[in-house]
Amino acid sequence: MIALTMSLPSPEAPGAPAPSPSSVADVAAGLREVGYLPGESTALVSYLATKLGKPVLVEGPAGVGKTELAKSLAKYLGRELVRLQCYEGLDEAKALYEWNYRKQLLRIQAEASGTGWEAVQEDIFGEEFLLARPLMTAISSEQPVVLLIDEIDKTDQEFEAMLLEVLSDFQISIPELGRVESRTHPIVLLTSNNSRELTEALEIVRLHTPDLRETVARRLVEVIGMVRALDLKKPPSIAESIDWARALLLLGVEDIDADTFTETMSVIVKHRTDMDVVAERVGLKLGSPADVA
């Protein structure tokens, strides 16, 4: 359920974390004390997170305790929890910082008339005019925090890249102000439900068959997901998905109904025994030909 990603480089922590557990058992006991029952790997990964200062990616389906782990870890370590809830369209202004325009405006109005632009600029682009958002809050906090970046799979990849950059050197560049470096080193947990995988498959299929109708492409990825969920000898991968997309394009298919599926499923399922399973289980879900007619 939990993975530990070790790929992000981590700078030396400016300040050592406060209560420092000395073993996996310590962390397990501490989490239990605050009401969280950690599995073996959860305790291990949590321990490593407190020791190594590397971001941890917590993956798993809904309701397995990903968000709760971050909350409990913060409680156990006596740290503040800073949470960045991800959603589609989340941007830097909501994640990093924003300028407090209202306050800047007030300051400008309060300046004596005739104050040169340079002086004004120096005034209004100071730290007191910044509105810190979660990432900035986490890295500029005097006391080390637990930073929860929740449901990262909901953001787009550009945002994710920005995020990973911030997490790799724990500093934020503000054009008007310069670099804000971290005062303390947060424990970072990122959670993901894995819905990203599906988007990626869709993107890849679209890339290879741009002429395939969007609705068909979406449906295709969905059906592939259904097929992959079955216990097959050889589940279809991205390669089969692309082959199938090409086949459907060639056939001028408008929709993937039960008939289309039965006719073309040999492109994505190769094993004889798999074919029987898939025909029965997925064919049924797509509706019998009689339903479609």
Residues within window 109-128 making contact with Mg ion, judged by CB under 5 A? none
Q: Three-class SS of residue 81?
A: strand
CB of 57 to ligand ATP, least distance (A): 13
Q: Which is nearer to ligand ATP, 46 or 260 (CB)?
A: 46
CB of 67 to ligand ATP, least distance (A): 3
Q: Which is nearer to ligand ATP, 68 or 243 (CB)?
A: 68
How remote is the C-alpha of 127 from its chain's centroid? 29
Q: Which is nearer to ligand ATP, 65 or 186 (CB)?
A: 65
- Residue 37: contacted member of ligand ATP, Mg ion, none (CB under 5 to 8 Å, by partner type): ligand ATP
Both tokens of residue 130? 């910044």
Distance (Å, rounded) from C-alpha 237 to C-alpha 15? Answer: 45
Which run of H or E residues covers position 22?
none
Quote the strand ranges of 121-257, DSSP E: 130-132, 146-150, 171-174, 178-181, 187-192
Please give the span between the terminal C-alpha atoms of the chain, in angstroms, as a whole number: 43
Distance (Å, rounded) from C-alpha 192 to C-alpha 154? Answer: 8
Size of the site for Mg ion (CB under 5 A): 1
The full DSSP string for 261-293 is: HHHHGGGT--SHHHHHHHHHHHHHHT--HHHH-
CB of 288 to ligand ATP, least distance (A): 34
User: Which residues of this chain interact with ligand ATP, rule CB under 6 A?
Assistant: 36-37, 60, 62-68, 193
CB of 87 to ligand ATP, least distance (A): 12
Candidate segments 59-67, 154-162, 196-204, 220-228, binder of Mg ion by CB under 5 A: 59-67
- Residue 140: contacted member of ligand ATP, Mg ion, none (CB under 5 to 8 Å, by partner type): none
Of all residues in this chain, which one has the CB nearest to ligand ATP in the complex?
65
> In the set 67, 85, 104, 168, which binds Mg ion (CB under 5 A)?
67
Of all residues in this chain, which one has the CB nearest to Mg ion in the complex?
67
Distances (CA, A) of 135 to 58, 85, 182: 18, 11, 10
Q: Any contact of residue 104 with Mg ion (CB under 5 A)? A: no
Tokens 């979660």 found at: 134
- Nearest by Cα to 5 from 50, 57, 40, 53: 57
Q: Which is nearer to ligand ATP, 38 or 53 (CB)?
A: 38
- Residue 169: contacted member of Mg ion, ligand ATP, none (CB under 5 to 8 Å, by partner type): none
Q: Which is nearer to ligand ATP, 64 or 198 (CB)?
A: 64
Q: Hey, how many other C-beta atoms are within 10 angstroms of the C-beta on 178?
A: 9
Candidate segments 64-72, 113-121, 201-209, 244-252, binder of Mg ion by CB under 5 A: 64-72
What are the residues binding Mg ion (CB under 5 A)? Answer: 67
